[in-house]
Amino acid sequence: MTRIETIAVHGGRDDLAELGVHAPPIDLSTTYPVPDQALGGEALGEWATGTARAASPVYARLHNPTVARFEQALAALEHTETSVAFGSGMAAVTAVVQAACVMAGKPHVVAVRPLYGGTDHLLSSGLLGVTTTYVEAGLVSSAIRPDTGLVVVETPANPNLDLVDIEHVVRQAGSVPVMVDNTFATPILQNPALHGASYVLHSGTKYLGGHGDVLGGVVACSEERAAALRQVRIITGAVLHPLGGYLLHRGLATLPLRVEAASRSAALLALRLAEHDAVEFVRYPSTSRQMRGTGAMIAFGVHGDPVEVVRRLKLITPAVSLGSVDTLIEHPSALTHRLVPDEELRASGVPDNLLRISVGLEHVEDIWEDLNAALCDVAYVKSSPTDFLVMAATR
């Protein structure tokens, strides 16, 4: 069996020898010659049905070879038949909701909080004509209705790193497809499709690209479900630019190494944060039967003002997003989750003093010196004994 590091390097490169090249080429064509107009029309019709292959690409909104290579590689890493790439993670989420709910005539979603703030806002906005019931992971079955078209889960959850038992949710969902946002874990640490998920979502902007310089999203799934996603992509124009496809594909080659190195640093930082007097609690995932490692994300609460802690950092970048080679930190209730009502955010386990850190590839001691200095520099009243490290438990 080919191992994941090898798949990450060689996935999506099957046609390179035939092309006579070593590095995947970037096809920037927006249109393609169609000498036989009748055959071109047939190809266009096939693309419109969501097919994966046709006689001619015809037009870049329908198909792009560079993007297709990335899709093949990601599918291999996630153990699915195929994947469909989009211009952003939110475009990918939108396409899944449109395909599973709107096109299927089942406009009800069951979602487990917390989720990425953008996903939460999309589902609760009514913009796509769906209604959403938010429940705890153990109560999914109680919320399923005849018109439920999708169950949405993120694990580890954004931003508090809650772990959700995917197989338990899938059993509760029954015939309703389950979408798992796998952005935090990446396919290196977790493969939701192997636990029954119908859709595996990634914001490729994060770990897949890995360098903070490409925007994209991707959904790994069966070929049958992919056809509907491609239809949505063609109609809405939510395509991934070829350069983005190239950068995401290139990012996959180093993904195992980056995840391993950043996770190693994160584990050490989580232990040190748990012992710090200025820290109220730390949440960091534990290895479980569905995760092969702990990851590079940490959530922690501070006794002092979280905004002031962030302001005093000098090395760590205060910014939204995650999964980059450099360490990023943000205050979720002020930024990524600002549009989720305060009381609902707190009820889902995201207090106002929580900070989310995405550990990068800097030397771990340099990261720690910056964190420690910022924490020590902020005045605070220690209202309760500092909790030991809280390993985020599977629900």
pLDDT band per the 50, 70, 90 thresholds, residue 392: low
- pLDDT in the model for residue 345: 86
C-alpha distance from residue 26 to each of 86, 231, 242 (Å): 17, 24, 6
261 domain residue, yes or no: yes
Position 383 in a domain: yes
Hey, which residues are catalytic here?
Answer: 61, 116, 181, 206
- The answer to whether residue 86 scores a pLDDT higher than 80 is yes
Provide, rounded to the nearest whole percent, the portion of the chain with pLDDT above 90: 90
**Res 188 pLDDT > 50:** yes
Percentage of residues of the chain with pLDDT beyond 70: 96
Rounded to 10°, the helix 242-274/65-78 angle is 40
Once rounded to an integer, what is the mean pLDDT over residues 352-376? 97
- Position 387 confidence tier, pLDDT thresholds 50, 70, 90: very low
Residue 1 — very low, low, confident or very high, per pLDDT cuts 50/70/90?
A: low
* Rounded Cα gap, residues 332 and 310, in angstroms: 12
Say if residue 268 is exposed, middle or buried (CB neighbours under 10 Å; 0-12, 13-18, 19+).
Answer: middle
Residue 367 included in any domain: yes
Q: For 348, phi and psi rounded to 5 degrees?
A: -90, 10
Report the 10 Å Cβ neighbour count for 189.
Answer: 24
Burial of 137 (0-12, 13-18, 19+ CB in 10 A): buried
**Mean pLDDT, rounded, for 372-384:** 80
Domain that holds residue 331: 255-392
Alpha carbon distances (Å) from 254 to 176, 187, 225, 269, 381: 35, 13, 29, 23, 43
Q: Would 363 be classed as within a structural domain?
A: yes
Checking if the pLDDT of 385 tops 60, the result is: no
Is 335 a member of any domain?
Answer: yes
Q: Give pLDDT, residue 393.
A: 52
Q: What is the CATH number of the domain that holds 306?
A: 3.90.1150.10
The number of distinct structural domains making up the chain is 1
Asked, for residue 301, whether it belongs to a domain, the answer is yes
Looking at the predicted structure, is the pLDDT value of residue 50 above 70?
yes
pTM higher than the cut 0.85: yes
Report the pLDDT averaged over residues 205-211: 98
Average pLDDT along the chain? 95
pLDDT(388) > 80: no
Average pLDDT over residues 303-314: 96
Pairing of strands 297-302, 354-358: antiparallel
Q: What is the pLDDT of residues 90-105, one digit of tens each?
A: 999 999 999 999 999 9
Average the pLDDT over 104-115 and give the result: 97
Find the angle CA(226)-CA(229)-CA(233) to the nearest 5 degrees.
135
What is the average per-residue pLDDT within 210-239?
98
For residue 225, count CB atoms less than 10 angstroms from its CB and return exposed for 0-12, middle for 13-18, buried for 19 or more. Answer: buried
Structural domain contains residue 56: no
Domain contains 238 = no
Confidence of residue 144 (pLDDT cuts 50, 70, 90): very high
Q: Contact 128/97 with Cβ under 8 angstroms?
A: yes
Q: What is the pLDDT of residues 247-281, one digit of tens each?
A: 999 999 999 999 999 999 999 999 999 999 999 99
Burial 295-322 (b: 16+ CB within 10 A, else e): bbbbbbbbbbebeebbeebeebebeeeb
Distance between CA 149 and CA 173 in Å, rounded? 10
Of 181, 203, 197, 164, residue with least CA distance to 79? 197
Residue 386, pLDDT score: 47
Q: Give the pLDDT of residue 389.
A: 57
| pLDDT, position 344 | 82
For residue 381, what pLDDT band results from cuts at 50, 70 and 90? low
Q: Is 291 helix (H, G, I), strand (E, B) or coil?
A: strand
- Going by pLDDT thresholds of 50, 70 and 90, the confidence category of residue 347 is confident
